[in-house]
Structure 1
């Protein structure tokens, strides 16, 4: 049975994209988060960008509050971690609480989990017993908020789930990343940006951001559609204290705006360093 993507997005209003990473092991430093850079990469490959990221430990009240905001935001949200069936996995229950919905065993998830358990028993030369306590307990991994749809898991067939634009995947990267790609390609392809994207910037020495702010504001006013950015650094190993000042957007808009940026910098007593280009 082929899972039905949820939701069907409306192309006229592209939403923001968020990431929620759940787990004490991330906040304690026991494990380093790998999801943030990967999700940025997956979105960028489709002409999209991450708008917000949030980390939360294994505290049900905090998880529920974070998920309430996610459901209310209207954004596309990917939540990683906590969807297993051990005592420290709270995400499924918190999602239901945030939505004020009951939990229910999803029929497709039940079939997939049972199929997985049958395959494991066969590989181990054992007889599959659906009523064995361990096998009954594993079905909890398919208990989702009522009305959820499943996200297929190509690694071990234990699915994640979606409710609206909020999508829940395991914390394991080998599972989570292909599942996130499936959601993007199945549900949100109409928002992929096919046009070219360009970012041009210059390293500026001897300037303060407050001094450069009027120039930045004027550029965004004169060139609608581009974004001006300022990235200060105080201890760069090569350039030391500096500001990376640039513009980004469609190439046809970026190039003239960047020329104007360089011209505007001539009015300040600053030294310019390398120019950087990213597309």
Structure 2
């Protein structure tokens, strides 16, 4: 089961705010032996949000959607989720109770809409201000505020997806080949990708930086630890045989 993220908000695309959710989600998944397969940033564009959610529901992936579930006019996510599911919006009874308990008469006419969610939705408890998120299938909707979103994500993972946790998570190993050019090594790369299909291979060229002045390439393998160790040892040997100086990644 792949894991993805949808991160919503014009403020992220305009640069007014810097996203913190992606790094936090990667870390939370890593602590549980999981990894992020994909992520997508979206502005407050209802048509794009709906299309992204239709893809998410159809994928069968575990997806966390951050932002856009409030009650202001730029919060489109709740309605988009309902349309993507071909469902009606409905005030969730438990959400109504939570919102009325917090705001009293001020819950109406606007704040109550935070509980207006797809008819099939399940609530996600919010430990900070009690305004819930919600889940539809394996897509989970949380606020854009990190202090609220992150404990809600953790509770979903720990409560529903322990069967995906791994005690032996994938690892990554890297090395650096000095004065290497990708074009000269494509055939060798292809042979290793074919030799180790269970691993992910990466090639990151650089024309020089503060750490290493000359041109170089950082190569990496990620996957099960024993296979990564085997592949990296063989890759380093192949680079040495081809005449390259190989360094450990700092």
* 1:103 aligned onto 2:76: no
**Does the CA-based 8 Å contact 2:236-2:246 persist in structure 1?**
no
Aligned equivalents of 2:207, 2:129: Cα separation in 1: 46
Q: Evaluate the alpha carbon distance shift between residue 192 and residue 23 of structure 1 in structure 2; reply closer, same or farther with a 3 A threshold.
A: same
1:196 shift after superposition: 4.8
* 1:53 aligned onto 2:26: no
Which residue does 1:73 correspond to in 2? Answer: 59
1:212 shift after superposition: 2.4
**Does the CA-based 8 Å contact 1:219-1:260 persist in structure 2?**
no
1:275 shift after superposition: 4.1
> What TM-score do the two structures reach when normalised by structure 2?
0.93
Which residue does 2:50 correspond to in 1? Answer: 64
* 1:215 aligned onto 2:188: yes
* 1:268 aligned onto 2:242: yes
Which residue does 1:124 correspond to in 2? Answer: none
Aligned equivalents of 1:207, 1:215: Cα separation in 2: 13
Aligned equivalents of 1:224, 1:36: Cα separation in 2: 27
1:233 shift after superposition: 2.4
Q: Note the residue ranges of structure 2 that are not aligned, 5 or more in a row.
A: none
1:235 shift after superposition: 4.2
Aligned equivalents of 1:217, 1:70: Cα separation in 2: 32
**Does the CA-based 8 Å contact 1:151-1:162 persist in structure 2?**
yes
Which residue does 1:257 correspond to in 2? Answer: 231
* 1:33 aligned onto 2:6: no
Listed as ranges, the matches of 1:1-279 within 5 Å are 15-117=1-103, 128-129=104-105, 132=106, 134-240=107-213, 241-275=215-249
Aligned equivalents of 1:87, 1:211: Cα separation in 2: 54
How many pairs were matched up?
249
Q: Mean Cα displacement is larger for which, 21-30 or 252-261?
A: 252-261
* Partner SS state of residue 207, structure 2: strand
1:198 shift after superposition: 2.9
**Does the CA-based 8 Å contact 1:78-1:168 persist in structure 2?**
yes
